[in-house]
């Protein structure tokens, strides 16, 4: 008899929710949010909740929602294409200096992060974009033509930071890390997405969906669950725009990774190989996929595709381990796994509850910021990554275990 590794939530008027949450926190508000989504008539079979599941806006973070003939923009969110990239280098721990502050400084100088001067410029301020770096200009070329098409359809996108945010990290839980694996090999890992332009796309279509619900007099358990029916103009436009944002996000990570590797080489005055192993995966995105013999639209909001043999990244907090994983192709999770540890405290709660001394202790041995402005990202704000991994042993297998020695936050 096959062991069931998930718990099932079910109400009479909805499909089941299968939650891989044994041994990890699963707040009632997140359960309610998932059950609300489960009531929608176009949900396919069930909803899969990952062990890092927690309350989100409209739809739960850490959820996998498969649908037929409709899509819910809030089930993807506004950080479109957000995801992870990791590369293994030929460096080992013994080639790193005891003091890594210069390495962190080099990375911070190489990759715009937080709310730096370049990030505050608007597209209109930079004329013909001649003052942007060559690598950003080159990376924009495959994105440019389709972006022009999108702005002609959706004028709201014209004044976004699009190209100006390409190759930038941003704020919040986005990060760049230098890590050591179980064999003391050096890895570089980073987390970011489609930045301001993706946020604008996501927000724009969430509002369009709400207006459509009002126009059709459709009543929902939560108005943020407004949806777009397949075959409608807004549905096709949404899929087109999100797929572009996902491409932007992937290229954004590639630009940053190249810069980080160059910065490390210059800081260490060492040549080394990179991309010995490499993973670049989204965890906020849409995808047309075949499940149980039917083509469906799968939205993953804080979840990684974990098809059989597919590689993924599951990071812990800025003081915890992270994992390079291989998917086991579990059909009941729609071939998915968690995207990280998942929050147990809101940002406001973390700032109130965790002292600077506690944060410093939790990040001991990591070259990172230890000031009050990053308390909201302190390890205590997140679930125990080991418990999260234990809850999804039937979804992925661990290939590499990473521990950061440098962490750059916006």
User: Annotated active-site positions, please?
Assistant: 339
Residues 6+ apart with CB under 8 A from 357: none
Residue 396 backbone class (left: φ over 0; alpha: ψ -120 to 50; beta: rest): beta
Beta carbons of 108 and 294 less than 8 angstroms apart: no
Beta carbons of 196 and 147 less than 8 angstroms apart: no
Choose among 353, 360, 357, 404: nearest CA to 376: 353
Residue 135's SS3 state is helix
Sheet of 175-180, strands arranged across? 278-282, 83-92, 185-192, 175-180, 396-409, 321-327, 311-314
* Strand locations in 93-204 (E): 175-180, 185-192
The gap from C-alpha 298 to its chain's centroid, in whole angstroms, comes to 16
Residues 6+ apart with CB under 8 A from 154: 201, 204, 237, 241
DSSP 212-257: HHHHTT---SSGGG--EETTSHHHHHHHHHHHHHHHHHHHHHHHHH
Beta carbons of 54 and 61 less than 8 angstroms apart: yes
| Number of Cβ within a 10 Å radius of residue 285 | 28
Pairing of the two strands 396-409 and 321-327 = antiparallel
Alpha-carbon distance of 210 to 225, in angstroms, equals: 8
Residue with tokens 């797929």: 243
Alpha-carbon distance of 254 to 166, in angstroms, equals: 10
Alpha-carbon distance of 36 to 14, in angstroms, equals: 8
């Amino acid at each position: 008899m096959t062991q069931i590794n998930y718990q099932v939530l079910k109400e009479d008027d909805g499909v089941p929710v299968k939650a891989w949450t044994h041994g990890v926190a699963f707040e009632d508000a997140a359960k309610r949010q998932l059950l609300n989504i489960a009531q929608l008539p176009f949900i396919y079979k069930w909803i899969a909740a990952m062990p890092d599941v927690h309350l989100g806006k409209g739809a739960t973070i850490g959820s996998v929602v498969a649908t037929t003939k409709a899509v819910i923009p809030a089930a993807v969110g506004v950080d479109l294409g957000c995801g992870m990239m990791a590369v293994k280098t030929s460096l080992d721990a013994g080639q790193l200096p005891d003091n890594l502050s210069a390495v962190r400084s080099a990375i911070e100088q190489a990759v715009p992060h937080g709310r730096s001067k370049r990030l505050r410029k608007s597209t209109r301020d930079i004329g013909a974009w001649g003052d942007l770096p060559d690598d950003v200009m080159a990376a924009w070329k495959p994105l440019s033509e389709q972006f022009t098409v999108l702005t002609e359809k959706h004028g709201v996108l014209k004044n976004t930071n699009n190209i100006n945010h390409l190759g930038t990290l941003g704020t919040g839980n986005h990060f760049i890390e230098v890590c050591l694996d179980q064999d003391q090999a050096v890895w570089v890992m980073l987390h970011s997405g489609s930045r301001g332009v993706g946020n604008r796309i996501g927000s724009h279509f969430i509002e369009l969906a709400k207006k459509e619900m009002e126009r059709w007099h459709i009543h929902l358990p939560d108005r943020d669950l407004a949806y777009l029916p397949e075959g409608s103009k807004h549905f096709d436009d949404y899929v087109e725009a999100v797929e572009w944002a996902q491409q932007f996000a992937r290229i954004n990570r590639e630009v940053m990774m190249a810069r980080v590797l160059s910065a490390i080489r210059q800081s260490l005055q060492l040549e080394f190989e990179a991309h010995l192993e490499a993973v670049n995966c989204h965890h906020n995105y849409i995808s047309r996929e075949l499940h149980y013999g039917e083509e469906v639209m799968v939205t993953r909001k804080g979840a990684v595709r974990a098809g059989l043999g597919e590689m993924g990244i599951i990071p812990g907090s800025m003081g915890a381990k992270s994992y390079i994983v291989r998917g086991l192709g579990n059909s009941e999770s729609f071939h998915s796994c968690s995207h990280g540890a998942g929050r147990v405290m809101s940002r406001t709660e973390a700032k109130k509850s965790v002292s600077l001394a506690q944060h410093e202790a939790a990040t001991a041995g990591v070259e990172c910021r230890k000031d009050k402005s990053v308390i909201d990202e302190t390890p205590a704000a997140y679930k125990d990554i080991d418990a999260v991994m234990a809850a999804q042993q039937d979804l992925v297998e661990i290939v590499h275990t990473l521990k950061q020695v440098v962490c750059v936050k916006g």
